[in-house]
Amino acid sequence: MRQHDTLFIGGDWVAPAGTGTIDVVSPHTEEIVGRVPDGTAADMDRAVAAARQAFDHGPWPRMTMPERAAVVGRLAELYAARQGEMAEIITEEMGSPITFSQMAQAPQPLGMLQYYAELGTTFPVEEERPGTFGTVTVRREPVGVVAAVVPWNVPQFVIMIKLAPALVAGCTVVVKPAPETPLDSYLLAEMIKEAGIPDGVVNIVAAGREAGEHLVSHPGVDKVAFTGSTAAGRRIASICGEQLKRCTLELGGKSAAIILDDCDLPSAMGFMSIATLMNNGQACVAQTRILASRNRYDEVVDAVASMVRGMQVGDPSDPATGIGPLVAKRQQERVEGYIKIGIDEGAKPVVGGLDRPHDRGWYVAPTVFAGATNEMRIAREEIFGPVLTVIPYEDEADAVRIANDSDYGLAGTVWTADTQHGMDIARQVRAGTYGVNLYMIENSSPFGGFKGSGLGRELGPEGLASYLEYKSIAHM
């Protein structure tokens, strides 16, 4: 069992203020695989104080951006050497299939470190513009102390999408991992210490909701970067609004995959399995609404059903597994509740349903609903599990209308033999990230959502800019 008795605060391993602990339970075996301290408000106070000291008086924000980028580059080298270990930890603690952990859970955070280490060598910190009576120097300075509050589904991805640009910008950070997945953050802390990042620049305290809200509300925090549910995002936005505190919110999604009539279904299904069911369906960007024309509706349903039937459900450490367990029993019950809702609404499960595929572990049968409409709850609410809903459309304009008829606007795809026509469809869908015949989150491009899917953008130069304040200096 992976056991930790300390927290990472001020560049050192320190004893927690309280005696509470967090048990990390394997979603596959339902056995305890780790135990860490349960952070308290007092621990958050100590972490913010360390971050505040490092920002107000330490060397990190006073280094040049290329100097900070070089340190982040050293962290990337250490991360590269241990990404296999990181993938195994994430699979163990939250049930992500090991192939997905090796393909995304560990490599994508590494890619972010490498991207921002490179961007930091060329990103303009100052620029001059003509003014009325002389010249204006526009300067970019770090926003300050950042609270990074992250969920359990892609823990390192969501930590790094905040931490890498914040570090290059010159901010100091308090990371609050989710209580379901704290183990990976301890490995990250070891690498941070080894990389030579100054004390207090990064602090990591795993904790529950109460301590998390204390961190978000802390007057010593200048910016909150949050990924999670839309409901929690609204609460955080209200706190930040009251305090005029900067915030970036990456929230939920209910994305649509539009299948056009010219799509080659057999070739599309390989990529579709990733776009729809990545990480056991526990992904905010998952395209869980599949839109098919009435001309090919039955054909699309059959193709999606065959795709899902072909994915092995089982032990996430087995490389042959395509879909593993959900993260917790409550999540299993939540997803099964939505499957029941879909049946009660009149949709037909052509694959899956309420019969569990395994007696042990928090497994749910991957389910494909046919005969659904976009007005059903299974088509409107984020389920966060392996449940797909195939919805018919009349023509392409109707497909775009259905895709946009959502409280969310995070992601989406279109599948077609004509890429340029697919681009025309992509331009009409109100979503922050989109794909034609595939779905990818690119380090060089902004990631975030429209409507209820959040505020602000992460990744790309825009992600770095979100950790910077702008200062205008007029001079003659």
DSSP 8-state assignment for residue 198 = P
284 is catalytic: yes
Q: How far is CA 144 from CA 46, 57, 147, in A?
A: 16, 12, 10
Q: Looking at beta carbons, which pairs linking 332-340 to residues 24 or more positions away fall under 8 Å?
A: 332/362, 332/363, 332/364, 334/383, 334/384, 334/385, 335/281, 335/364, 335/383, 335/384, 335/385, 335/386, 335/387, 336/364, 338/377, 338/378, 338/381, 338/383, 338/385, 338/387, 339/364, 339/367, 339/387
Tokens of 160: 């790094």
Helix or strand (DSSP H, E) at 246: strand 246-250
DSSP for residue 323: B
Ranges of H-type helices in 95-224: 98-100, 107-119, 155-169, 183-195, 209-217
Residue found under tokens 């570090």 = 167
Cα-to-chain-centroid distance, residue 192: 21
Catalytic residue among 284, 382, 396, 458: 284
Catalytic residue among 88, 250, 396, 458: 250
CA distances 17 to 46, 93, 190, Å, are 9, 25, 21
List phi, psi (to 5°) of 282.
Answer: -95, 70
Whether 442 is a known active-site residue: answer no
Q: Cα angle at 370 between 367 and 376, to 5 degrees?
A: 90
Q: In this structure, is the dihedral angle defined by the CA atoms of residues 196, 458, 380 and 278, taken in order, positive or negative?
A: negative
**Which of the 8 DSSP states describes residue 61?**
G
- Strands 246-250, 450-451: pairing is unpaired
Give me the residue label for tokens 């539009």.
Answer: 258
Please report the beta strands in 219-366, taking only residues with DSSP state E, as ranges in sequence order.
223-227, 246-250, 256-259, 289-293, 348-351
* Closest by CA position to 342, among listed 386, 287, 404, 312: 386
Q: Edge to edge, what strands does the sheet with 468-475 contain? A: 126-130, 135-142, 468-475
Q: Which residue has the tokens 């990250």?
A: 188
CA dihedral of 351, 352, 353, 357, whole degrees rounded to 10: 170
Q: Which residues are catalytic?
A: 250, 284
